Amino acid sequence: MNKRHSSGNSFEKHEKTKFEQFKELVLSDLRIKIVCIFIAFLICVFYQINSFGAETYTVPLDVKSSDVIMVEAGSKVPKVVEVTLTGNRNILSNISSDNLSAHVDISSKVKAGSYDFFVEVVPDERVLQQLHPLQISVKPEKVTLSVEEEMMGYVKVVPTLLGQPAHGYEQVSVAVDPTTVEVHGPRSVIENLESIQTEAVNIDGVSKNVTEENVALSDVNSFVEVSDKSVSVTVDIQSISERKTITGLVVEYDSLDSDYSIVTKAPSMDITIRGKLLDIENLRRNDFSASANCSAVDGEGNFLVPIFVYAPENVQVVSQTLESISVKAIRKNVDVETDISEL
């Protein structure tokens, strides 16, 4: 019994000795240890201060709308906002504006009017994973926008042409497919939107039909969304057909019986021709001939003979001032003066 008691006292003394040793270890040079701890704290704070920094990024501002409401046409929406990130300076140096997005959400509104919308900044996963802690600020924090009802409609597509066809050719018609496109936008814009033009199709110097696929549509404004981004444009190019007058064409006598002579002075006449511009623009009087067919002259006297005009290939004679003439015929070897009345 006494042995057990003595053993218990020894254990308590031993434990007490260990506690005394620990206490003595902690309390010895306590001031120095406190100073060391304070210095370590200051170093930690200094490191944190020096490793932290702030960077400002220019980020495009988007607008999130709904199928019911959208930004009113003419409402000034900031194109960009300034986003400031505060965090580890080393990591911030590897962050760019591509890692950030900013938007205002107007989809919660159901009635037209003017409202204040807070700008929301969304960092990508890389920023969220690497920057701890992270502080985000944005300027401006909110924007005031006027919103109105969204509307859908259909408008015609008007093709735009650039230049002129080659000399001798002309644009006959132009077709676009599709002829209309579906548009979405603010009611105030869609109700007054009559057409959308295409980007220019170049026909300068061409001499045949032109067909271009995937012709882009010109932007109406940033508030209008077009269902079809491109169309097909076909331009019908044809040669120009023109008329031209040839004057002073002298009529020659043709197919006359060798026993007879015509004493009537050969007249001159005008003709009107038609053909492709390139075929007729350089034609002159010498390129044509006119003949009076005297095959019906079978004796002496006056005869009405038809006049025929001969023109180059691809040229049509559409009118002539003389269709026929009256001529006086005599037998050869008869000494007769020229018929003065016919002069």
Structure confidence at residue 3 (pLDDT): 46
Structure confidence at residue 212 (pLDDT): 95
Structure confidence at residue 341 (pLDDT): 47
Q: Cα(48)–Cα(43) distance, rounded to whole angstroms?
A: 9
What global pTM score does this model have? 0.58
134-158 pLDDT tens trace: 788 899 999 988 888 888 899 999 9
Structure confidence at residue 39 (pLDDT): 66
Structure confidence at residue 2 (pLDDT): 47
Structure confidence at residue 224 (pLDDT): 85
Structure confidence at residue 51 (pLDDT): 54
Across the 343 residues of the chain, what is the mean pLDDT of every consecutive 10-residue run? 49 58 62 66 53 82 82 82 83 81 86 88 80 80 87 93 96 96 88 92 96 90 83 96 96 95 95 96 95 95 96 95 96 61 45
Structure confidence at residue 185 (pLDDT): 85
